[in-house]
Structures are given as structure tokens and as C-alpha cells.
Amino acid sequence: MYEKKESRLGYYLRVIGGASFKKFFSTIDKGHQRSGKSKIYLFFDMLWCMVRYGAGYNDYVDFEFWNLSGKQRDTYLTRFRSKKLISYMNDQSYNHVFANKAEFNEVFKDYIGRDFVDMAKATDDDIRKFYENNDKYFLKMLDLSCGDGAELKYKTDFKDAEDFLSYVKQKGFGTLEQVIENHPDVAKLYPYSVNTMRMITLLGPDGEPHCLISVFKMGINGRIVDNFGLHSPVDLETGEILYPCHSGDTTAGIHYTEHPNTHIPLIGYKIPYVKEAVQMVKEAAKVIPQVRYVGWDVAITPTGPVIIEGNEYTAHDFWQLPGQTPGGIGILPTIHEIDPDFKW
């Protein structure tokens, strides 16, 4: 295990010291609007949930803690507990493999299913060849996430290979990637982004990989990435979308039973190759066993699943949301089954 030696109180004080009180009170307002509870009640209950369950103020609203008993609340992987789990499971000296997109592509090249150029190593001729061999390109900044700084470009956007070479250098992209194509059944839901699954894996103490959950994510309103779009867990065997989808703003409590742009019904819609994706991320999870807890972004192409990236610091919220969490029970009991030594 790789647990940091920091007391819970010390961590609370450090986080609170960096907190935005404006956002805190804005979240109380949102909780008041959604729950009907008084702001005074929510203020003190939020503080109690932070101390007792390690919940941040967004957790409190995301998970609708006002509707849950103490026993239910205690099953949630909250913000502070998530930090604890990451420190316990992951050796931070290996984080660079996941943080650096070019390095990640090289280490996991057997799973990514696409051509790429590492700008730090590529010659001008490598970049020209990449331009000539592809008709469209996904251009990424090296150490940014959530699609920040990424651009989707087409060959027709440039006069020639020299124009492309000049553009990617001037912009400072870290990696150039062949564009992943959605499986037709996935593109049908939303055609303007690569729609992915966030798949969470955990290596047990015996090194056995487990896939905790898979959450399917879709773009919305013309966005070219699926971040902050719609999302819902899918069945790991059948690939069916299990529940109404949440919006990217997990504090809003908005649910969708059809995609607002394509108007396709979502519940029960079957995502192809999910069983194969589960097997793939389990295998990938063993490549760097020092990082036991990973969130993988997996695309479904016409020929099967491919990994876009892995996140050693994976989000904890959008896979435990109201309307998608049967019985109001979070993921902690499942984590404890795999590794009983993890304690909060």
C-alpha cells in the first residue's frame, strides 16, 4: 500500500483552507432548492457529513445525502475517502505514466488501437507522414485532461503538410492522434464526439484485477468531447444502459431518459463490446501493478474496444449518483470486499 502519512484532521484543515466559501454557500443554495430543507439545516448537516463521512460539499448535493440514513451515507466513496483510497492503492512515483499522454500511449500501445505522434520525439518528416496518412486528426496538449486544449482537425483545414506542421508546432500540442471512430450503434446516440465508457479497475492484494463499474458517457450540444455531457452505468455483461442519464453537472440532479439532441431512448440501449472492454481493462490494469486503482476511458469502435487514456486520479462522484445507485448504497462495500484492509 502507498498511504500518505497525514492525519484526517490535517487533511480537512488543508482542504478547508483552500476552499471557496462562495462555492460552498452556492452549493447550499442549490441543495435548498432541490431538497426543500432549510439552509441552516443543510449548513450543519454538510459539516457533519464532512467530519463523519469525509464528504465535500459537492458530495452532499451530488449524492442527495439529505435523503439518506447514516448507514447509507457511510457506504459512499466521498471526496476525502477517495483521496485516501488513491493514496492507499497507488504509488505516486508511477503517476507520470498516466499523466503524460505520449508516455501513456507508448506503455499501453497494445490497447489504444490508433496511430499517434509524440511531438517531443517526432521529426518533421514523422509529422508530415502522419498528416499524409490520415484524413482527420485529434490534437492533444501533453498534460491537460477533460479535453482541455484538444482540437479535432481535418486534412482539408490545411493547405498541405507544411501548413499542418507549422500549425501543430505553433500551438504546442503534445500528441497527435489518429481519430477514433465510434461504433455505428454508439455514434447513433450522439455523432459529434467519441462517446466513451469510464471503467474503474481495482487490483486486489493478490494482484487479481476487478472491474468495479462502467459508466457510459456521451457528448451533448455540439461538443466534440464527451466530458460534461450525459452519463449512466451500463451492465457489465449485456452492455445495456441501466438508468436515466445524469447531466455533466452532477450537482444539478437533472436526469434524461432520451438524448436531448438525438432523442434516442437511453434506458436499455445496448452498447456493443462491453464484455470485451471489461476483459481488456482487466488486462491493462496489470501492466503497472503499482497503480492499483485506475479509471480508464474506453471507446467502442466498429471492431471493438480501445483505451483512450487511464486516470490514476479517477473521479469518485458520477458512478454513485441518485437514480443510479440501487438502495442508496455506495461503492465502499464492494471495495472492502476486494481489499478488506482499506480503512477510512
Write the pLDDT tens digit of every residue in 329-340: 999 999 999 999
Phi first, then psi, for residue 30 (nearest 5°) are -65, -40
Phi first, then psi, for residue 139 (nearest 5°) are -105, 125
Question: What's the mean pLDDT when you consider all of the chain?
Answer: 91
d(CA 174, CA 220): 26
Three-state DSSP at 45 gives helix
d(CA 100, CA 126): 20
The pLDDT value given to residue 310 = 96
239 has a pLDDT exceeding 80: yes
Looking at the DSSP bridge assignments, the partners of residue 299 are: 196, 306
Helix axes 161-171, 124-133, angle to 10 degrees: 120
Three-state DSSP at 84 gives helix
Dmax (CA) for the chain in angstroms is 64
Percent of the chain whose pLDDT exceeds 70: 92
d(CA 80, CA 59): 10
Residue 55 near residue 27, CB atoms below 8 Å: no
The pLDDT value given to residue 12 = 55
Which CATH architecture best describes the domain 115-178?
2-Layer Sandwich (3.30)
The pLDDT tens digits of the residues spanning 178-231 come to 999 999 999 999 999 899 999 999 999 999 999 999 999 999 998 877 888 999
Global confidence as pTM? 0.87
Which residues does 325 contact at the CB level (< 8 Å), separation at least 6?
63
Q: Which cell goes with 159?
A: 493547405
Which residues does 161 contact at the CB level (< 8 Å), separation at least 6?
127, 128, 131, 132
* Owner of C-alpha cell 486516470: 311
The pLDDT tens digits of the residues spanning 92-122 come to 999 999 988 889 989 999 999 999 999 989 9
The CATH code of the domain at 182-311 is 3.30.470
* Owner of C-alpha cell 426543500: 36
The pLDDT tens digits of the residues spanning 70-85 come to 999 999 999 999 999 9
Beta strands in 150-292, from DSSP E residues, in sequence order: 151-154, 175-178, 196-203, 209-218, 230-233, 245-247, 255-256
18 has a pLDDT exceeding 70: no
Q: Which cell goes with 259?
A: 438524448
Q: Which of 117, 92, 99, 91 is nearest to 310 (CA)?
A: 99
The pLDDT value given to residue 13 = 54
144 has a pLDDT exceeding 60: no
Q: Which cell goes with 260?
A: 436531448
Three-state DSSP at 203 gives strand
Which residues does 189 contact at the CB level (< 8 Å), separation at least 6?
195, 218, 259, 262, 264, 266, 269
141 has a pLDDT exceeding 60: yes
> Among positive and negative, which fits the CA dihedral 25, 29, 34, 40?
positive
